[in-house]
Amino acid sequence: MKILVTGGAGFIGSHIADAFIAHGHQVTIIDNLVTGRRENVNAQATFHQIDIGDAGVAEIFERGQFDAVCHHAAQMDVRRSVVDPRYDAEVNILGTLNLLQQCQNTGVKKFLFASTGGAIYGEQVRFPADEEHPTWPASPYGISKLACEKYIYFFAQNYRLRYVFLRYANVYGPRQNPHGEAGVVAIFSTRLLKGEQAVINGDGKQTRDYVFVGDVVRANLLALNYPENDYFNIGTGIETDVNTIYQRLNEATGAGMSERHGPAKEGEQLRSVLANDKARRLLDWQPKVSLADGLKETVEWFHTRK
């Protein structure tokens, strides 16, 4: 297949682009390199440095004649979305609409969308949340991802575009940017390896569902060939609080730093964990990497980078 990967120089997108290429697909990457890194781009991919909302994207679609789009480019910072919801909407909603219109114009058959299970459901009323959980996002970021799902559905109904939404839990692993899209595993690993104090927001009892990037890559490979329009949670079904993540990384890095807590951050959810029964049943996907093994591999990667 000819596949366009947006955000393919970023943390998750670059791993997926690598996997598509390893499976024999022809990959084109677009990324504005705001949080992505040029060094993450696979040498066998065609690369364009461009915003997904730029008018020049039309020419890339015309030249590429893609069979599928795997859309990972996004404004991913929940806190920034709270401070500047207009910017979040311009990148995530209008950028996605630009891609969808180009899919319509050039006959793209399949659209894989990196959505969010961590933010789209808001403060959960069921634990873990399944795909039918009410969607009341607590941040503009979650709202924009939900809006994109609705727009993709519209294009599917009217222009025969097939889609799969993958609602990710908190993805972590090698290549995660501790400065851009952020994530406590990347932030804590980087600071502790440098012997610097890592600050836990609030009391640290807020929980997340941490899924390793390699498991997320497998979900995308399976979704590429999934024949139906559908949406899946991609998570472990296991809640882990931030204090536990800090303790495990403190041990893995050998830093031996005491805990330090700062003020809680606006817009953060208290608990988030995703049921993955539907993905197990229909997509034949389940997480294979334990939190212990995933944290170990992540710390080793950041150690080599240091």
CATH number at residue 221: 3.40.50.720
- Which DSSP state fits 25? -
Domain co-membership, 75 together with 130: yes
Domain co-membership, 110 together with 164: yes
Burial class of 148 by CB neighbour count within 10 A (0 to 12, 13 to 18, 19+): buried
Domain co-membership, 196 together with 218: no
Domain co-membership, 80 together with 21: yes
Domain co-membership, 124 together with 179: no
Specify whether the CB–CB gap between 43 and 21 falls below 8 A: no
Domain co-membership, 148 together with 294: no
- Is 159 among the residues known to form the active site? no
Domain co-membership, 285 together with 227: no
What's the domain count of the chain? 2
Instruction: Output the six-digit token pair for 196.
Output: 């610097």
Q: Which domain holds residue 297?
A: 172-208+238-305
Domain co-membership, 102 together with 221: yes
Among 141, 168, 172, 226, which one carries the catalytic annotation? 141
Domain co-membership, 63 together with 145: yes
Domain co-membership, 84 together with 220: yes
Domain co-membership, 42 together with 184: no
Sign of CA dihedral 15, 20, 26, 27: negative
CATH number at residue 292: 3.90.25.10
The residue behind tokens 């390893």 is: 22
Q: Spell out the per-residue pLDDT of the chain, length 306, in tens.
A: 999 999 999 999 999 999 999 999 999 999 999 999 999 999 999 999 999 999 999 999 999 999 999 999 999 988 899 999 999 999 999 999 999 999 999 999 999 999 999 899 999 999 999 999 999 999 999 999 999 999 999 999 999 999 999 999 999 999 998 875 468 999 999 999 999 999 999 999 999 999 999 999 999 999 999 999 999 999 999 999 999 999 999 999 999 999 999 999 866 789 999 999 999 999 999 999 999 999 999 999 999 986
Domain co-membership, 287 together with 215: no
Q: Where are the beta strands (DSSP E) in the chain?
A: 2-6, 26-31, 46-49, 68-71, 110-116, 162-168, 170-172, 199-201, 207-208, 210-212, 230-234, 240-241, 260-262
